[in-house]
Structures are given as C-alpha cells and as structure tokens.
Amino acid sequence: MKILIAGFQHETNTFAPTKASYQSFVQGEGFPPLTRGADVLSLRDVNVPAGGFIQAAEAAGHTLVPVIWAGASASAHVTEDAFERIAGEIIDAVRRGGFDAIYLDLHGAMVTEHLDDGEGALLARVRAIVGSDMPLVVSLDLHANVTEQMFTHADAMVAYRTYPHVDMAETGARAAQILARLVAEPGRRLKRYVRRIPFLIPVNGMCTLAEPARGTYAHLAQLEDDSVVSLSFAPGFPASDFPECGAAVWGYGFDEAAVVTAVNALASAIVGQERDWDVRFLDPDAAVREAMRLAEHATQPVVIADTQDNPGVGGDSNTMGLVRALLRQGARDAAVGLIWDPQAAAKAHEAGVGATIELALAGGTGVPGDAPLAGRFVVEHLADGRVRFDGPMMNGMWTEIGPVACLRIDGVRIAVSSVKMQIFDRNLYRAAGIEPERMKILVNKSSVHYRADFDAIASAHLVAKAPGPMAADPADLPWQRIDTRLRLRPNGVSLSELRE
C-alpha cells in the first residue's frame, strides 16, 4: 500500500495561562520540532507513535507518503492560526491523493480557540475528502478525551497503555497492525463499542507504575483476543472544559458481542475501583519536611513532583512555591528543574560563571499565591541547552532548551531554561550542570512522566500541591461546560449537584 502519514499532537488545558502558538509547534517544547515531508521518516527511531508506525509499515513493505509531524507542550488553547496552518497542510496533502490508506498520530485532547474538538474536526475534514471506504487509523495519547466525532470518522483508534508514556512507538506499531487487519478483510467493517467512565480521574492517579492503573492495563491486555482486535482505555485529560471531557473504554472487532463483553468487563472493573483512583497530596512545606526526613538515611534522592506547575499538563514551569518551601525549611543538596525564565538565563550568561546576581526569578504568570522569588543567586553553570534524551521517553531525540543556567541560592540549585519543557529526562538537569543522582532532594516540574527516567535513582516519590495553574484535583477547577452528570473526582460530586 501507499499510506499517507501525519502527526499533530497537543494536550489542551483550557484553564492554563499560555496558549500554543505556531511557534510552539516549530520548537516542539519536548516533542520533536515540527518536521515536514521526507524528514518525518527520521522519526522512525524516536519513541513517538509515528516512529513505531513507520518501522512497522516499512517492515511490511508499504510505501509511506509523509506530510508533517507537529507537537507542542501542553498549554491553553491552540491558536486558530496554528491549527489551521498545520491542519491545512494535512488537508492539502489529502486532496492531492495518490495513497491507499491514512495513518494519523494524534493526541486526542486538543481544544483550539475556535474548536472544542480539534482532532474530531481534522478527522471530519479528512473523511469528507476521501469518502467512507478509505481506511483511516489513528493513535491516541492515554490522556485523550475521545469524542463521538473522532469515533465517527476514524475506522480505528488505539491509545497508549503506559504513563509515563514509554510505549508510544509500540502504540504506533499497533495502529499499523490494525490497519493491516482492515485491509486484509476488505468489505468488513470493524464493530465498535464505547463505555464512558462516570468520574474524572486525577492525572497523578493514572500512573501505570502503581495501582489501580497497572492492574487495569494488565486486565485490558488479557481481554484482547482474536475476536477483539483492539481494546483501549483513555483515563482522559481532566482539565479541558467541554462536554466530552473524561475517561472512556472502547474496543474494535469483527465479533460485536465479544467486543461489547470485553469493553463492559473492563469499564465495570474501573468503576468498581472508583475510590482507588483518588490521590493523596501534600502541601509544599509538609512535602519538603517529609523529603528531608526520608533523605537523612537514604542513599538516593527523594523526588517531589511539583504537579500543579507541570508544563506537561499546561503549567508554565515557573512557579516558586516549592522553592520557597525548600528555603523556609533549610533544605540542603536540593535541586529544582526546570524553571522557565529566559530573562534570568540571559542575565546569568551575561554575568558569567561564579558571579552573584540579584534578580526576581520566575513567578510572573499571575498564579494566585505565587510571585517572583527575589534574591541573590550564584551562577554555577552555563550551557547552550542542546540536550539528547537518553531516558525511556523520547529516547534518542535531540532538543534545544535555549541558554540554560544553574543558579544556587542557599542549599538549593535551580536549573533555569529559556524554553519551557517538562523534566522527564535526567539529562535536562545535566544540561544545567546538575548531577541528579548526587542530590538529596529533587523537585521536578512534572506529574508522572519524570518517573520513566527517575525511578531508577529515586528512593521515594512525594506529590505536592503548590500554587500552579493545573489543579491536581480536578474538583478544584472552575468547571462551566463539562457534562453536568460527571463526578468531578473519584467518589466526588457532579457539577449539577454543586449547582443545586
């Protein structure tokens, strides 16, 4: 076959302070930078879904027609300009024709300035051109808010099964396998069945390194067989204020009864464990005190997840709540990363290594309870910010975080970058001259992804609720447009109940 392939990924937090512009996708912000044409095929060795699809399709002897691949860090809405420019390139390629099937590497939780459902709108535009008979398969992020429009226009969609997302390429390969099944049995349509989960799940509760998510995905794998071609569970992205936000289980197969049985079994198990999907959070000072207590006798760092300012879920990676808590509690041998502050990085580079500079660091996005941290900082390290990822996520990819600096204040070292990026790879600390293994405490601007590379060196993990734009507990968000029947947290109340 000739297969058209393209990718367009964004996870939208409609409550976040900063939108995703076209330049955000050009930079990538932790994803591969925007890539076009034959250069898309260079992703074959990167742990992204398109990489796994490319490898599987080439191994099967197919010819690929690569169009564009674009991704950006989670944030507020994708601008209309960015969406229409990138989607427009995909649609133009679809109009040109010359292919037998389509694969799209999408996220599933994109909200734009003008569309609630970016992926659904893109799929609808594609389907309007190619008609109902063209095979169209899609890979999705585990955090997809899957919509009816997406189900309507894709022949099959398959989601990641790990968080941290170490199986992205594997998911792309599964999409290739499903496409092969579709083509091998022309004229037969896959039967689909979907079950919505009636409560929102906190992002931190979705980690597949712990229960109940770990057991849920093991159960999912057991339920797949010859009659159930594909089964997926997306816990959703609980910070997108539109009616179809939330978790879902879905499956495909040629035996409709078997698909219904499998989906119902998995969905019922998830609902039956509702209370187990909740998460315990610590306030900043309690988290630091506990980390210091644990670190006294530990031989490896204690990691605190600064989850509410995670740029992977829409934060700007620049709140100072946990830095202040480290200073208040007198923490030593502590490191924080990454803090996004291009002006501070530039000032450090101007002053040079060894200099002491006065500045008001970060904290400038108007988050309630947060403010810049004014103080005197020692410049300990400077670098250009070119980084290769060697951890399980994005393994082998090079990225640019712009001029980077290590600034020390008292016993705290702060990795400051010029490009916003979630710290899911230890090399991001090393880019600032910090060896994470030598620290007693690490404060990571991340929720779960950091664990892919940091589990190997962490003696313990704590989750803190410091001021930030992404509420770790979805019930804390000011919902307006979500389905009013949906419980806003496990065993919580719905929006309709709150309004009574």
The DSSP string of 441-491 is EEEES-SSTTHHHHTTT-SEEEEE--S-SS-SSGGGS--SSS-TTSBSSTT
- Helices 284-295 and 321-328: crossing angle in degrees, nearest 10, is 50
- The pLDDT value given to residue 94: 98
Q: 482 exposed, middle or buried (CB, 10 Å; 0-12, 13-18, 19+)?
A: buried
The whole-angstrom separation of Cα 108 and Cα 175 is 15
Beta strands 230-234; 248-253: pairing state:
antiparallel
Are 425 and 394 in contact by the 8 Å Cβ rule? The answer is yes
Burial state string for 282-298 with b = 16 or more CB within 10 A and e = fewer than 16: bebbebbbbbbebbeee
User: What stretches in the chain show pLDDT beneath 70?
Assistant: none
Structure token digits, residue 493: 């109340």
Burial state string for 139-174 with b = 16 or more CB within 10 A and e = fewer than 16: bbbbbbbbbebbbebbbbbbbbbbbbbbbbbbbbbb
Residue with tokens 């659904």: 120
CA distances from 387 to 70, 130, 317, 401, 428 (A): 19, 41, 18, 8, 7
- The pLDDT value given to residue 43: 96
The whole-angstrom separation of Cα 433 and Cα 205 is 32
- The pLDDT value given to residue 364: 76
Q: CB-based contacts of 252: which residues, under 8 Å, 6+ apart?
A: 156, 178, 190, 191, 192, 228, 229, 230, 259
Residue with tokens 């990026």: 421
- The pLDDT value given to residue 157: 98
- The pLDDT value given to residue 395: 87
Over its C-alpha atoms, the chain yields an Rg (Å, rounded) of 22
CA distances from 334 to 296, 407, 411, 434 (A): 13, 12, 6, 10
The whole-angstrom separation of Cα 298 and Cα 166 is 27
Does the global pTM surpass 0.95?
Answer: no
CA neighbor of 6 nearest in space, from 117, 96, 76: 96
Are 234 and 142 in contact by the 8 Å Cβ rule? The answer is yes
The whole-angstrom separation of Cα 75 and Cα 314 is 4
Structure token digits, residue 167: 């199986």
Q: CB-based contacts of 58: which residues, under 8 Å, 6+ apart?
A: 44, 64
- The pLDDT value given to residue 234: 98
Architecture of domain 2-277: 3-Layer(aba) Sandwich (3.40)
| Cα torsion through 490, 494, 499, 500, rounded to 10 | -100
Q: Which residues in the chain are classed under CATH 3.40.50.2300?
A: 2-277
Structure token digits, residue 39: 């250069």
Q: 280 exposed, middle or buried (CB, 10 Å; 0-12, 13-18, 19+)?
A: exposed
Helix (H) or strand (E) holding 174: helix 168-184
Indicate the length of the chain as a whole number.
Answer: 500
- The pLDDT value given to residue 169: 97
- The pLDDT value given to residue 62: 97
- The pLDDT value given to residue 30: 83
3 state DSSP class of 188 = coil
In 229-341, alpha helices (H): 256-272, 284-295, 321-328
How many CB atoms are located within 10 Å of the residue 375 CB? 15
Beta bridge partner(s), residue 361: 373
